[in-house]
Amino acid sequence: MAAEALSLTNVHAFYGDSHILHGVGFSLQAGGVLALLGRNGAGKTTCISTIVGFLKPKEGEIRLFGEPIGGLSPERISRLGIGLVPQGRRIFPSLTVRENLIVAQQRERSTEKPWNVERIYELFPRLRERHAQFAGTLSGGEQQMLAIGRALMGNPRVLLLDEPSEGLAPLIVAEVGRTIKRLKQEGQSIVLVEQNRQLALDVADQAVILNTGRCVFAGNASELLNNDALITQNLGVFHAH
């Protein structure tokens, strides 16, 4: 049985008076990819915000490799090993590609192969070609690579990807999928929030569906592929590919 990299147990979270997460619970196995699915407004981004510490859970428990992190500051959670690639990328447009990476570098954890600028360039050769370019002049796909590279520079134990394919052309979406698969081969534990169901289920081992802040499915991603009824009910129209 693989260790649990990240686990949520009965997590409740509020924005002001609005109760957004209702007893959410799931666990990500070490070295696995978990797809977090749901319609817009289902609570996915709130869930990510709660894991990274932007929002404090009202009750429930969040653990990173067994260590409780629920309610700690975002800086502390980041240092303990949670990396985030936020929705909308949020790179520094006026810094070069290389500067964006170096700014994000954290003390190298005692991983066997820590991430550094050279390894990011191996993962994304296009960033090497553009290393001296201002990040704001990159294409959307290149900016997404840079956002992923920046998160990896912190050598995260768990990487959270919030809508990485959003606004990208299909060819680039396929590249994002290949990147996630490669990181998984390297043993990176990943939570993937994604509207693109096909991409998510193609790379994920496990899947969780949120509907109005509640978990309505948690299990193997493969179980979802053939469950049209569950998908239609919770994710909208089902398009067979």
The per-residue pLDDT for range 54-69, each reduced to its tens digit, is 999 999 999 999 999 9
Arithmetic mean of pLDDT, 159-173: 92
95-99, 105-109, 116-120, 221-225: range with lowest mean pLDDT: 105-109
Q: Does 105 score more than 90 pLDDT?
A: no
Q: In the chain, where are the structural domains located?
A: 1-81+157-169+178-235, 88-155
The per-residue pLDDT for range 14-42, each reduced to its tens digit, is 999 999 999 999 999 999 999 999 988 89
* pTM of the predicted model over 0.75: yes
**Domain spanning 1-81+157-169+178-235: which CATH class is it, in words?**
alpha beta
Residues 6 or more apart in contact with residue 103 via CB below 8 angstroms: 92, 95, 150
CA–CA distance, 172 with 9 (Å, rounded to integer): 35
Find the helix packing angle between 140-152 and 170-185, rounded to 10°: 20
CA–CA distance, 12 with 22 (Å, rounded to integer): 5
CA distances from 162 to 58, 119, 197 (A): 22, 22, 13
Give the pLDDT of residue 234.
Answer: 83
